[in-house]
Amino acid sequence: MNISFLRRAGDFLQFALPAAGAYASYKREQWKGLKKWLKGTVITAAVTQGLKFAFNYTVLGRRPDGGSRSFPSGHTSSAFSGASLFSSAIEEELALSMLVYFLACTVGCSRIAAKRHHPRDVALGAAIGICGTYYSPFYQTIRDKGGKLIGSCSQLIDSYKQYCHRTTKEPIQVQAVLETREKLKQKLA
């Protein structure tokens, strides 16, 4: 495969995948979905650029072609951020989710093939992209079986902490944890 074509494909997909994630988020939750997309994208970009700045003048910051600002891969974090958002919004379509993640992997491979990044840069970029969006408490929502929104993970954690403090003045006991878990199961059933 032509390296020039692969590099151009990676450059294109670093923007196309987040755009697809924004579109899917909007289709699922309208403006609320776009807000979540924006928060996830900002988190991903901030962490990626912060690490690039921190490691720019270290061994990790040196690119395979001799340039700087290698660690982590911004193209890859952007692509995996978009893939995670898209996959979360279309959770019923496994084949489509796999395709989007394959395209995100293509971006990472294009960066290695073009000698712009080391595999470690791409791996960390992928992890930042996924964690910055999919596992972010800003994006995760929990729905019951009918699709009704119950709340975000951070809201459930706060409710859980309040419940534990009401049931005991001592450190959290096993019984309180089990009772809360049963209540959450009943709410989701």
Query: With pLDDT > 70 as the criterion, what percentage of the chain qualifies?
Result: 73
Instruction: Return the domain boundaries, the chain.
Output: 3-139, 149-188
CB contact at 8 A, 112 and 122: yes
pLDDT band at 27 (very low <50, low <70, confident <90, very high): confident
pLDDT band at 93 (very low <50, low <70, confident <90, very high): confident
Distances (CA, A) of 38 to 2, 29, 57, 64: 34, 13, 30, 32
Q: Determine the pLDDT at residue 177.
A: 62
